[in-house]
Amino acid sequence: HQSMRLADYRPPAYTITDVDLTFELEDHQTRVTAVSQVVRQGETQAVLELDGEHLTLLALTVDGEDKTPEQQTDTALVLTDLPEQFELKVVTEIDPANNTALEGLYKSDGTFCTQCEAQGFRRITYFLDRPDVMAKYSVKVIADKHKYPSLLSNGNLVERGDLDDGRHWVRWQDPFAKPCYLFALVAGDFDCLTDRYTTGSGREVALELYVDKGNRHRGYHALASLKKAMQWDEQVYGLEYDLGVYMVVAVDFFNMGAMENKGLNIFNAKFVLADAESATDDDYFNIESVIAHEYFHNWTGNRVTCRDWFQLSLKEGLTVFRDQQFSADMASPALVRIKQARVIREHQFAEDAGPMAHPIRPEEVMEMNNFYSVTVYDKGAEVIRMLQRLLGQGGFRKGMDLYFERHDGQAVTCDDFVQAMADANGVDLEQFKRWYSQSGTPQVTVQSEYDAKHQQLILTLSQHTPPTQDQADKQPLPIPFGVELVDEHGSRSEVLSLSESEQRFCFDHVASNPAIACLTGFSAPVKVKQTIADSDLIRIALKGQDDFVRWDACQTLFSQHIHQLAEDSSRNSSEQVSEALSELIAELLKSPPEDAALLAEMLMLPSFDTLSQQQDIVNVDGLLRARKLIVTRLAQEFATQWQQLVDERPKQDYAYTAEQANWRRLLDRAMFYLAHSELPEAETQLQQVYQDSDNMTQTLGVLTGCQQANLSLFDSLMSDFEQLWRKDSLVMDKWFSLHASRPQDDMAGQLESLMEHPMYSINNPNKVRAIWGPFAMRNPQAFHQADGRGYRLLTDYLLNLDSVNPQVASRLVTPLLAFKRFDLGRQQHMRQQLERLAEQATLSRDLYEKVTRALK
């Protein structure tokens, strides 16, 4: 397996301006005829190297004449002696029904479907499968009319007809030139919901949502979200939709969340279908956000696309930033920001600390699918957010306008984006570009000196980025560092610009020594090192103005106490948990913040993953024990208040409104503590909440509380739940996840029996993720068993999964890669399992890249 390097980028020697594709769809022998108009861009003798994988070549002509390729390999077709401009016809045969990798054209559950990003188009035909080759597509699809009434592709439907053998055909034309990764085709039998949207300039757009038969009633939220996203993009960025139709198809077999193919988005059904009984508030939130994300790609990704895959963050970081802005405008901004900070701290910091560390614009890639990462997506979005903070909202908008004005219809680089921002605002962003090329998590150390006599506060900030596996030397970065000074009189905030290794900032007229809250609004994706007293944290939590730092102060207070307790194994009584935590909870419950969602988050202990990111070598047993002790203590000490919150839950009919959802978040928290309270009546009370629930959020809240507290009620409720939902694939994923994340020592039997369930299939990524994701990523007690049995279970499974679906296998291996951060015993067990994987002769490129980097 070979790596590719950003430094080796060269423009293509030939380009393709127009493509005419014909698909004759059959389960095992789909015939694809591709007629491309090819133009030479390089020198006269340039060879044309077409990408192609898993294809059977049936015919090849150049300007109507048979052509013999100079060379044909498993991955390429090389043609020489070509004219400057010509028509290339390639006929290939593919086997969609045996395509379990779900890349290219595949058939699952009776539906034909494509996934071409990043490099799936080469599994459909021999082609220049790179994003800087942009062509206009005309697509004819021919298939059995009875089995596949809907034949969809990008753009506008221009012609259709029937054949006399029971098949029918349609022709689609997309007026916009696009890279082949945005090509899509779907053939199936769906229910279709339709609606209309009139753009700001008065153009009519037909909206069509295709879902599995019988699921129409679950599509309304997605459709409403789409319209909100269309309107928001017009209002905030002045961007309108550009085709006459916008189609969204929900499918059950899908490798990721969704795909932004031009005019024809394909979605994992999980991010489309929702009703109160079957979907949680989080599902509703995610649907709104993913629908918006894919819609926003129409401008940031499709109209302006990436020159090469190293530039992926150009479209993903920017589009995640845009979907976060949208979500914050739709619901609780504090909650959206807290969720995002958690993603960065739990997952992105971990990626930086491990063998897959890379900058948001990676420099060396073996398997592109491995770089659809939290770094490229989420740190990428944080980088855009810092730009916006630097330029102000108006300046950022000016930069976006110039970016579209310059680059609409082009395939460009991250540097082009930053340049547009710089030029539109007349600023120099050279140092800022380091955020694109430098990997790793900067640590900012904060020291303060208060001079009471002169009423002056001096803050000394210093930054240091530890080396990462991919990069030894690090430079200082420009860091917008938000601070809020909170004293008994009130608070004041400022965003400090830290750009050197060390800087001093002076604040005058500071009447008393304030509590210093750092990183207001999570202003940069950095770690903060600060010595801070419990009393200052409590003051920030209760009196701070910035919602993020209020929440963060609670997290820090909890973390400090959990770490202390974890290090002292002699302390195993919950009685000894500090008074500071009790004081915080008592005050929060007495005078809560207005936003119930914020209160719910403030009451939540940091997760095992967050805590483990704060240690150099993770103390698994200590952290699990200490966290549990503190939960139990808080559950018991405030049992009456938890009970009261549960009893006083509003009883109105379910609606997904910000107010109701925020309240349900608080109810969730109260139920979690109630389940841990050991009150004799807790189980009866929780059972009552389960029984009177009219919505999945509340139901799942009860189940999660019972599961985490290990109540016997959990088993009976889970059986009841299964009886009720055993035919519903998406809901059963929740049931699988609850079983797989149940804290216990031995999971072998449990996992085995889940995989014997009639709903389970190794071919369905949602099922695989529902079981193995929670086990490996949200069940530290089971996964990190000291004798290594958790690691072995995962590896046994990955060895099977890799040959079925390498992309999904490669995502699931992530927790094993961090082995150097664990104690020697666990390290050895994890390493052993990685070595088992490495020994596989047929290991996919996806797993090979990660495993070899980890073992380096």
Find which of ligand HT7, Zn ion, none residue 256 binds, CB within 5 to 8 Å per kind: ligand HT7
Q: Which is nearer to ligand HT7, 260 or 637 (CB)?
A: 260
All residues at 6 or more sequence positions from 151 whose CB lies less than 8 Å from its CB, including other chains: 141, 143, 168, 169, 170, 186, 187
CA distance linking residue 356 with residue 440, whole number of Å: 11
Give the nearer residue to ligand HT7 in terms of CB position, either 293 or 767.
293
Q: Show contacts with ligand HT7 in window 310-329 (CB under 6 A).
A: 316
Least Å distance, CB 320 to ligand HT7, is 8
Q: Which is nearer to ligand HT7, 256 or 537 (CB)?
A: 256
Rule CB under 6 A: choose which of 129, 132, 212, 260 binds ligand HT7: 260
372: contact with ligand HT7 by CB under 6 A: yes
Residue showing tokens 């999980």: 270
CA distance 381 to 169: 42
From 104-112, 252-260, 623-631, 741-749, span contacting ligand HT7 (CB under 6 A)? 252-260
Give the single-character DSSP code of 258: E
Distance of closest approach, residue 259 Cβ to ligand HT7, in angstroms: 4
- Told to check if 225 binds ligand HT7 by CB under 6 A, we report no
CA distances from 274 to 227, 283, 616, 661, 771 (A): 16, 7, 41, 15, 21
- 766 counts as binding ligand HT7 under rule CB under 6 A: no
Residues composing the chain: 856
Minimum gap (Å) between residue 36 Cβ and ligand HT7: 24
Give the residue, chosen from 89, 107, 221, 293, that forms a contact with ligand HT7 under the rule CB under 6 A: 293
CA distance 613 to 724: 39
Q: Is residue 294 at the binding interface for ligand HT7, with CB under 6 A as the rule? A: yes
- The nearer residue to ligand HT7, 324 or 833, going by C-beta atoms, is 324
Residues 312-371 that bind Zn ion (CB under 5 A): 316, 319
**Which residues does 839 contact at the CB level (< 8 Å), separation at least 6?**
none
Q: Binding residues for Zn ion, how many (CB under 5 A)?
A: 2
Note whether 252 binds ligand HT7 by CB under 6 A. Answer: no
Measured distance CA(399)–CA(775) in Å, rounded: 44
Tell me how far apart the alpha carbons of residues 294 and 248 are, in angstroms, rounded to a whole number: 10
Q: What is the nearest approach in angstroms of ligand HT7 to the Cβ of residue 229?
A: 13
Distance CA 85, CA 38 (A): 6
**What residues between 287 and 316 interact with Zn ion by CB under 5 A?**
316
CB 103 → ligand HT7: shortest distance, Å? 7
Nearer to Zn ion, 51 or 260 (CB): 260
Q: Which of 99, 255, 261, 612 binds ligand HT7 (CB under 6 A)?
A: 255
- Please tell me whether residue 115 binds ligand HT7 under the rule CB under 6 A: yes
Which of the stretches 151-159, 170-178, 289-297, 766-774 binds ligand HT7 when contact is defined by CB under 6 A?
289-297
Residue with tokens 């698994």: 620
Stretch that binds ligand HT7, among 148-156, 291-299, 504-512, 719-727 (CB under 6 A): 291-299
Q: Is-catalytic flag, 294? A: yes
One of 49, 117, 208, 595 touching ligand HT7 (CB under 6 A): 117
Q: Which of 117, 294, 316, 382 is catalytic?
A: 294
Contacts of 551 (CB under 8 A, 6+ apart): 334, 338, 541, 598, 601, 602
Q: What is the size of the binding site for ligand HT7 (CB under 6 A)?
A: 13
Report CA-CA distances (Å) from 290 to 3, 320, 338, 782: 31, 9, 18, 31
Q: Which of 143, 151, 256, 287 binds ligand HT7 (CB under 6 A)?
A: 256
The CA distance from 30 to 36, in Å, is 19
Strands (E), 366-501: 411-412, 443-451, 456-464, 479-487, 490-498
Nearest to 554 by CA among 563, 535, 541, 544: 541
Are 493 and 546 within 8 A, CB to CB?
Answer: yes
CB of 772 to ligand HT7, least distance (A): 18
Residue closer to ligand HT7, measured from CB, 293 or 742 = 293
Distance between CA atoms of residues 490 and 209, nearest Å? 51
Cβ contacts of 759 within 8 Å, gap of 6 or more:
726, 729, 732, 736, 767
| Interaction between residue 288 and ligand HT7 (CB under 6 A) | no
Q: Which does 174 bind (CB under 5 to 8 A by kind): Zn ion, ligand HT7, none?
A: none
Partner from ligand HT7, Zn ion, none contacting 348, C-beta within 5 to 8 A by type: none
The C-alpha atoms of residue 362 and residue 634 are separated, in whole angstroms, by: 44
Name the segment binding ligand HT7 (CB under 6 A); options: 139-147, 254-262, 323-331, 809-817.
254-262
Nearer to ligand HT7, 469 or 814 (CB): 814
Q: Are 480 and 495 in contact (CB under 8 A)?
A: yes
CA–CA dist 183, 265 (Å, integer) = 10
Strand blocks (E) in 675-735: none
By C-beta, is 268 or 741 nearer to ligand HT7? 268
- Segment near ligand HT7 (CB under 6 A); pick from 10-18, 258-266, 383-391, 445-453: 258-266
What amino acid is encoded at 685 in this protein? Answer: Q
Distance CA 125, CA 128 (A): 10
Q: How many beta carbons lie within 10 A of that of residue 250, not counting itself?
A: 24
Asked whether 782 and 745 are in contact (CB, 8 A), the reply is yes
> CA–CA distance from 434 to each of 323, 400, 476 (Å)?
24, 20, 9
Distance CA 17, CA 78 (A): 19
Smallest separation, CB 96 to ligand HT7 (Å):
16
Q: Which is nearer to ligand HT7, 101 or 603 (CB)?
A: 101
Q: Give the residue closest to ligand HT7 by C-beta.
A: 256
- In whole angstroms, the minimum distance from the beta carbon of 376 to Zn ion comes to 10
User: Whole-number minimum distance, CB 361 to ligand HT7, in Å?
Assistant: 16
If the CB atoms of residues 182 and 751 are measured against Zn ion, the closer one turns out to be 182
Q: Does 259 bind ligand HT7 (CB under 6 A)?
A: yes
Provide the binding-site residues for ligand HT7, judged by CB under 6 A: 115, 117-118, 255-256, 258-260, 293-294, 297, 316, 372
Active-site amino acid positions: 294
Provide the binding-site residues for Zn ion, judged by CB under 5 A: 316, 319
